[in-house]
């Protein structure tokens, strides 16, 4: 590990924003003045000094304001806090707050292609195409549920080879999720001139290139066996559309957009769901009485048969536990950075076009005016007095507005089927010699918040 990486190591439990603020002690940002345009009131905030984190705490700014300014190094950022503010900005002002402000390292590897870090017409075309085709191939529907649960006989020759490739893709994707949230890469995003001394940047790019190579090989094989009359999935549909549009010289259906869209959908769809399930199992081991209630409900309603998505309506407590896991786990606390597409006056404050905006999802999921016990694992948040499941407006783990998670319906389906099936067959406990109270709920910071390394026992249900 190079010298800058050693210097920048901090506790993994520190939040992304807190980590960045702490790290910026190495850089004196005293040249920026905290002044607004004379005729336009900008969002309030502390002076942009190296001790910004402490000054934010001293001023209690997150509790005083729902809209405020901070400086991440030289970069001016507006933070949206609380359910009402985040919802109003992302939904009622969807166009104004709807652009993405890509992290430097993600912009470098994606070159603005794909659906996650792109903007403009290319983003609109790719998102619309991805959403329509994922829906057509069953996302959120019974056909997709069947694929999730399907078990059948198979010839081991090719599948085993594919499993190895898939596992390597997952491993590299998970590792890069941790790297992109590391302090040293966050510093690189703010100060590109530090790149030559940051070994994590080199590791990230190497892993990303390896995943690109595997995907390109898969695309080549799919293209060789492509049958436009019988599309097998998303890549086939893209290749067919590309063929049909080449005559018209369409700008957006090109190989780079295909590659980046697939990589981004894969990354967003695997790491987040698996992380949420890990939190769910950890909560079950931590709170065995809640696990008892889940398993009693599953036994009474489902028995030993395969759980189906349509069972959700008859499993209100289990559904509440899954929702509470998503709320308290809070795996994407800052959402991904947005950017204003135009000058906008919002809640009486002027925000200039091109300003980076962070919708603070953690402030929505932990909003004390919306949740009775925001910092506790409390499934009753999603139950009425009769024990029936109730939706909550402030439940926004998938964000909201134009940039809401593209795969929300698939993620909800996977979480329900995976979680209920695991709890149907296993009881999760701390390892021998460890009590429930000793299980650590401290989060480990990457691009998402994951549980700290831990072990659990999965005991088969009798």
**Residues of each annotated binding site:** 405
Q: Which residues are annotated as a binding site for heme?
A: 405
Distance (Å, whole) CA 134 – CA 128: 10
Q: How many residues does the chain have?
A: 462
Burial class of residue 274 in the structure, from the number of CB atoms within 10 Å of its CB (0-12 exposed, 13-18 middle, 19+ buried): middle
Pick from 95, 68, 98, 99: which is nearest to 81 by CA?
A: 68
Burial class of residue 94 in the structure, from the number of CB atoms within 10 Å of its CB (0-12 exposed, 13-18 middle, 19+ buried): middle
Report which DSSP code applies to 447. S
User: Following DSSP, what letter does each residue of 91-121 receive, concatenated?
Assistant: IITTTTT-EE---HHHHHHHTT-SSSS--HH
Biggest alpha carbon–alpha carbon distance for the chain:
72
Distance (Å, whole) CA 280 – CA 429: 12
Distance (Å, whole) CA 335 – CA 314: 32
- Supply 334's token pair: 């800052």
Check: CB of residue 430 under 8 Å from CB of residue 436: yes
């Amino acid at each position: 590990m190079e010298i800058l990486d050693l210097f920048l190591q901090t506790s993994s439990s520190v939040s992304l924003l807190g980590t960045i603020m702490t790290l910026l002690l190495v850089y004196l940002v005293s040249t920026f003045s905290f002044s607004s345009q004379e005729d336009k009131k900008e969002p309030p905030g502390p002076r942009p000094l190296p001790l910004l984190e402490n000054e934010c705490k001293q001023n209690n700014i997150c509790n005083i304001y729902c809209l405020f300014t901070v400086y991440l190094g030289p970069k001016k950022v507006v933070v949206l806090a609380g359910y009402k503010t985040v919802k109003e900005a992302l939904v009622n002002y969807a166009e104004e707050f709807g652009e993405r402000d890509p992290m430097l390292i993600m912009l470098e590897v994606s070159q603005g292609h794909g659906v996650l870090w792109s903007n403009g017409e290319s983003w609109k075309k790719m998102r619309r195409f991805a959403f329509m085709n994922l829906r057509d191939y069953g996302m959120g529907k019974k056909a997709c549920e069947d694929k999730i649960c399907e078990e059948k006989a198979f010839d081991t020759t090719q599948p085993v080879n594919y499993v190895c490739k898939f596992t390597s893709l997952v491993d590299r994707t998970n590792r890069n999720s941790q790297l992109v949230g590391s302090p040293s890469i966050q510093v690189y995003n703010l100060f590109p001139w530090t790149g030559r001394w940051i070994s994590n940047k080199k590791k990230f790019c190497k892993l990303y290139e390896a995943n690109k190579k595997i995907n390109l090989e898969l695309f080549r094989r799919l293209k060789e066996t492509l049958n436009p009359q019988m599309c097998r999935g998303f890549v086939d549909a893209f290749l067919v559309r590309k063929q049909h549009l080449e005559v018209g010289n369409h700008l957006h259906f090109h190989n780079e957009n295909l590659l980046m869209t697939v990589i981004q959908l894969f990354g967003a769809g695997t790491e987040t769901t698996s992380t949420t399930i890990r939190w769910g199992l950890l909560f079950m081991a931590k709170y065995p009485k809640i696990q008892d209630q889940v398993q009693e409900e599953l036994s009474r309603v489902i028995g030993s048969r395969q759980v189906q998505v349509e069972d959700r309506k008859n499993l209100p407590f289990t559904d509440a536990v899954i929702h509470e896991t998503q709320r308290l786990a809070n795996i994407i606390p800052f959402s991904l950075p947005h950017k204003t597409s135009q000058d906008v006056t919002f809640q009486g404050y002027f925000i200039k076009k091109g300003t980076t905006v962070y919708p603070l999802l953690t402030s929505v999921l932990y909003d004390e005016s919306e949740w009775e016990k925001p910092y506790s694992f409390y499934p009753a948040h999603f139950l009425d007095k009769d024990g029936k499941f109730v939706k909550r407006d402030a439940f926004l783990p998938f964000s909201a507005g134009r940039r809401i998670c593209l795969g929300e319906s698939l993620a909800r389906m996977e979480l329900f089927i995976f979680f209920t099936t695991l709890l149907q067959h296993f009881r999760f406990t701390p390892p021998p010699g460890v009590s429930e109270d000793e299980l650590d709920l401290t989060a480990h910071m990457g691009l998402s918040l994951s549980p700290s390394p831990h072990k659990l026992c999965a005991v088969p249900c009798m």
